[in-house]
Structure 1
Amino acid sequence: MRRRGALWLAMAVAVAGPMLVSTGPAAAATVVVDNSTAGQFTAGEAWGTSAWSAQRYGADYRYANPDTTTSDPAWYRFDVPSAGNYLVEVWYPADPGYNNATPFIVATSSGNQTLHVNQRANGGRWVSLGTFPLAAGVRDVVAVSRWTTGTGYVVADAVRITTATGGGSSFSLPLPRTALPRGEYDDPHHDYPAIDLPVPTGTPAYAVRAGTVVRINDSSCGMGINLTGTDGAIYTYCHFSAWSVAGGATVTAGQRIGSTGNTGNSTGPHLHFGIRTGSTRRCPQNFLLAVYDGVTPPAATSLPTSGCSYATAARGTVTMLG
């Protein structure tokens, strides 16, 4: 599970939306709620108003000091047209004085999920929290909480939700599309079928398909996830710095399940990703390349079992990376 190279040293944090592949027609509906949207934003007295940053969405944004004794959330209310999966994105101005672990709460149909965002980076654009199941109706959907041990102001600016196309996207890259170039997704693993993806600690990790998650926490994988997909295959993520879902949770493709890191048997920040059918390890490269290219990936059972590690390459095995 060690990251073989040193490329991770040069990577910058890239927090953007996951790359999703849909099997249905594109018919997405998008709704934006700003902090100034009448009747759809509420915040307590501790929340100030500022127009200082040019990266703001609209005329101004709200900010507050962190507080480890109270959540005091600022809520965004949406009229969710129908129950289903929705991409949730947030907009905020970035500044070195803003919080490096701002908690965003998403009120999903299966309970609240909290995700932490570094508001010192990626400001002035839409940043994806992931894809979540939402119930229909008018209600508070997304909040910004003050309850964080991070330092600097927490900021509440704008939130956007978009219906997942075709009734739900079927596949996702395990990382934001902007995190790595395509060439990283066909790299061999160091000694068995898998792949190591070099990204900085804190990069969002996404479910590559719908399924059920089991948390891992051991000396080899470190903090990680086994995602049992709806196809029955096991999709393994290792070396997280944090989980974003509870063990046993059902997730959708593109939903954030954790943050990358350097826990377990690891020599540098990266995401270890593997696919297994039964007890057979499969090369994930063709799966990842297909998702990156926007096409439906091959079935897990059809993925090769060799040719994607340095060990097999050294013995002259023909690679099957596409």
Structure 2
Amino acid sequence: MRKRYLRGCVLATAVAMAAAILTPATAASAATTIVDNDTAGRFTASGNWGSSAWSSQRYGANYMFASPDTSASDAAWYKADIPAAGNYQVEVWYPADAGYNDSTPFVVVASSGSQTVRVNQRANGGRWVSLGVFPLAAGDYNVVGVSRWTTGTGYVVADAVRITSSSGGTEFSMPLPRTALPRSEYDDPHHDYPAIDLPVPTGTAAYAVRAGTVTRINDSSCGQGINLTGTDGAIYTYCHFSAWSVASGATVTAGQRIGSTGNTGNSTGPHLHFGIRTGTVRRCPQNFLLALYDNVTPPAATSLPTSGCSY
């Protein structure tokens, strides 16, 4: 599953610190909780955190900031009352500035274990930026933290979080953070059969494109990967992970993080190999991915072409 990289290395460097943003193809319709740093009883931070109203991109009256620390987390926490166990989309709001941190760790206390997503706070400010979809337990507790433990440079910023139930809501999702690659990368041909190679740095979040059941792959060709059997019966294959985020046999929802990209298996550089099969027939995924990028419902897997997308 090698790719002829003409632009991959340059592009991978350019997007290495891209913010983790995910835009579903269809919007979830469910209860939403927003917690600002000024929400009474819902935000806590140590005295190492300061308050500022300098940026007009802030959510509410102000936001919190702190210097990075390579020895301790000293997280600022957002507390939320999760009404029922389930899958929730977690988004963050922050002002962006060239002096803010390029690798701010956001910690989500998922029921499957805490997960850290790093965000470049020099980009995508003044808007909701999705960390992904996570399984959350019911209860009133600290759900999202902003950690100071980073080797990135610049202030880490804590402003607001938004938590939305996605159970039964979001039907499709991009396989990578939206800012990881430009649209033009999603129509590239594969080197020898219907599939696509997407050049992204090791550790980039990989998401389930739709709901289904996952089976782990671990071989010399794919490396660490996932076969996602979608609710439509098609198989969506991800290869060359550096790590899995879900167990084999797990049921996942669209937008749920299933792994981290890497360079395992038969690979000449960090990237995500993505393919679609219906039965034993390989399908060209380019039109499917372009539709996701454009926020429209993608074509059915069975309607995707079987040729014309390889060298």
What TM bracket, shorter-length normalisation? 0.7 to 0.9
2:112 paired with 1:110: yes
Q: Distance in 2 between matches of 1:104 and 1:10?
A: 25
Q: Distance in 2 between matches of 1:102 and 1:145?
A: 7
Greater mean alpha carbon deviation, residues 207-216 or residues 130-139: 207-216
Q: Confirm or deny: 8 A CA contact 1:85 1:168 kept in the other structure.
A: no
Q: Distance in 2 between matches of 1:56 and 1:244?
A: 34
Q: Confirm or deny: 8 A CA contact 1:286 1:298 kept in the other structure.
A: no
Amino acid corresponding to residue 99 of structure 1 in structure 2? N
| Correspondence for 1:20 | 24
| Correspondence for 2:49 | 47
Q: Deviations over 1:78-133 (max 9, x none)?
A: 23344433221112233444333322121223332222222233333221101223
Q: Deviations over 1:161-205 (max 9, x none)?
A: 2233x8221221213445555554333211112112345666543
Deviation at 1:143, TM superposition (A): 1.1
Q: Deviations over 1:135-171 (max 9, x none)?
A: 344322111123334344332111112233x822122
**For residues 132-143 of structure 1, what are the structure 2 equivalents within 5 Å?**
132-143=134-145
Amino acid corresponding to residue 50 of structure 1 in structure 2? S
Q: Deviations over 1:24-66 (max 9, x none)?
A: x963433321111111001123323333444332332223344
Match of 1:64 among 63, 66, 72: 66
Q: Distance in 2 between matches of 1:96 and 1:250?
A: 40
> Which secondary structure does the structure 2 equivalent of 1:167 belong to?
coil
Scaled by the length of structure 2, what TM-score is found?
A: 0.79
Structure 1 69/176 Cα, relative in aligned 2: closer, same or farther at 3 Å?
closer
| Correspondence for 1:172 | 173
Q: Confirm or deny: 8 A CA contact 1:15 1:203 kept in the other structure.
A: no
Deviation at 1:302, TM superposition (A): 5.6
2:6 paired with 1:6: yes
Q: Confirm or deny: 8 A CA contact 2:287 2:298 kept in the other structure.
A: no
Q: Confirm or deny: 8 A CA contact 1:49 1:60 kept in the other structure.
A: yes
2:152 paired with 1:150: yes
Q: Distance in 2 between matches of 1:141 and 1:193?
A: 41
Q: Confirm or deny: 8 A CA contact 1:260 1:269 kept in the other structure.
A: yes
Scaled by the length of structure 1, what TM-score is found?
A: 0.76
Q: Distance in 2 between matches of 1:244 and 1:211?
A: 16
Amino acid corresponding to residue 207 of structure 2 in structure 1? Y
| Correspondence for 1:77 | 79
| Correspondence for 1:315 | none
Q: Confirm or deny: 8 A CA contact 2:22 2:131 kept in the other structure.
A: no
Q: Confirm or deny: 8 A CA contact 1:41 1:76 kept in the other structure.
A: yes
| Correspondence for 1:318 | none
> Which secondary structure does the structure 2 equivalent of 1:20 belong to?
coil
Q: Mark the runs of 5 or more structure 1 residues left unpaired by the alignment.
A: 311-322
State the aligned residue count. Answer: 305
**For residues 1-322 of structure 1, what are the structure 2 equivalents within 5 Å?**
1-4=1-4, 6-8=6-8, 9=10, 13=15, 14-15=18-19, 17-22=21-26, 27-164=29-166, 167-180=168-181, 182-199=183-200, 203-213=204-214, 221=222, 224-231=225-232, 233-240=234-241, 243=243, 245-248=245-248, 250-260=251-261, 265-266=266-267, 270-277=271-278, 280-292=281-293, 294-299=296-301, 303-310=304-311
Q: Distance in 1 between matches of 2:244 and 2:123?
A: 20
Q: Deviations over 1:217-256 (max 9, x none)?
A: 776556654434445544233445x547244454321123
Q: Distance in 1 between matches of 2:212 and 2:117?
A: 19
Q: Distance in 2 between matches of 1:285 and 1:129?
A: 24
Q: Distance in 2 between matches of 1:214 and 1:26?
A: 26
Amino acid corresponding to residue 102 of structure 2 in structure 1? N
Q: Confirm or deny: 8 A CA contact 2:98 2:122 kept in the other structure.
A: yes
Q: Distance in 2 between matches of 1:246 and 1:32?
A: 27
Q: Confirm or deny: 8 A CA contact 1:239 1:260 kept in the other structure.
A: yes
> Which secondary structure does the structure 1 equivalent of 2:186 belong to?
helix
Q: Distance in 2 between matches of 1:178 and 1:150?
A: 19
Structure 1 250/49 Cα, relative in aligned 2: closer, same or farther at 3 Å?
farther
Cα RMSD (Å) of the superposition?
3.5
Q: Mark the runs of 5 or more structure 2 residues left unpaired by the alignment.
A: none
Q: Distance in 2 between matches of 1:33 and 1:223?
A: 37
